[in-house]
A and B are shown apart, each in its own frame.
Chain A
Amino acid sequence: MRISVQEAVFDPGAELSGFGAGRADVGGVVSFTGLVRDDTGTLEALEIEHYPGMTERAITAMVEEAISRWELADALVIHRYGRLDVGAPIMMVATAARHRVAAFEAAEFLMDYLKSRAPFWKKEVTRAGESWVAAKDADEEALKRW
């Protein structure tokens, strides 16, 4: 597994190249990349704060759980912090498994947990000012299915 909490931009294609490759027990790879979206046309940037130390610890725990629950051959989580421009990649998850269902489910599990249990906080910077993004009840609800 690989976990990276970083400020630097990453290339999702390059990260995926070689992931889960060259092994006989991998039947499929699923990946998700989150990008900075601008719903209002006024977003200048997203500022992401995190809790160094706890962030890595929390992500490691969720990745280890995903690996054991879905018998993953490999897992990758990259999550950025700092100031991100519109359209920039924020984070990515990749899972490699023997079968498709396991790879998809494990990726969704990781996405749901990263949203609500990894200590990141997003602030939207617009021309009108700055505001912290509020957590959604639906994101907390989503954890219940796991």
Chain B
Amino acid sequence: MVDLLYFAWLRERVGVARESVETSAVSVADLVEELKARDPRYAAAFADTSVVRVALDQDLADFSAPLAGVKEIAFFPPMTGG
């Protein structure tokens, strides 16, 4: 099981802030495809992944990054701090 976290408009589109899922996806991109096939909410949230960022165990990562050993995956829009 991995924990998935969503922030800002991704959280609003998916409808939850956090969930645990069972997945056999080997990369972030695979996981996103798996989620999109699961429910229209995810298809809406991940319709344009050029505006989605991902962090693996709280470190920014690429969509090609492997998921082996990862416990927490967070999806969010480009950050707007400062």
Binding site for B on A (CB under 8 A): 34, 49, 51, 53-54, 57-58, 79, 90-91, 111, 114-123, 132-135, 140
Contacts and interface: CB of A to CB of B under 8 A. Distances in A.
Contacts of B7: 49, 51, 119, 121
A77 B82 CA distance: 10
Contact of A121 (B5, B55, B58, B76): B76
B81 A119 contact: yes
B82 A135 contact: no
Contacts, number: 68
Interface string B44-66: 00000000000100111000000
A134 B8 CA distance: 11
A114 B59 CA distance: 15
Contacts of B55: 51, 54, 119
A101 B77 CA distance: 34
Given A132-B80, A135-B79, 16 more contacts: A49-B7, A51-B76, A57-B58, A79-B81, A90-B82, A91-B82, A114-B82, A115-B81, A117-B81, A118-B79, A119-B55, A120-B79, A121-B77, A122-B80, A133-B80, A135-B80
A51 B13 CA distance: 17
A79 B81 CA distance: 8
Contacts of A119: 7, 55, 74, 76, 79, 81
